[in-house]
Amino acid sequence: MATAISDIALTPAAAARVATIAERQNKPAILRLSVEGGGCSGFQYRFGLADAPDSDDVVTETDGVRLVVDSISLDLVRGAEVDYVESLGGAAFRVTNPNAASGCGCGTSFSI
Fold of 2-111: Hypothetical Protein Aq_1857; Chain: A; (2.60.300)
What is the pLDDT tens value at each position of the chain, 112 positions in all?
A: 554 446 899 999 999 999 999 999 999 999 999 988 765 667 888 999 999 999 999 999 999 999 999 999 998 899 999 999 988 878 888 888 887 765 555 455 444 5
Domain boundaries, the chain: 2-111
Half-sphere exposure of 107 (CA within 13 A, CB side): 12
State the DSSP code for 64.
Answer: T
Beta bridge partners, 31, equal 49, 67
Pairing of β 65-70 and β 57-62: antiparallel
Cα–Cα distance measured from residue 69 to residue 75, given in angstroms and rounded to the nearest whole number:
10
Q: Does residue 45 contact residue 108 with C-beta atoms inside 8 Å?
A: yes
pTM: 0.82
One-letter amino acid for residue 93 of the chain: F
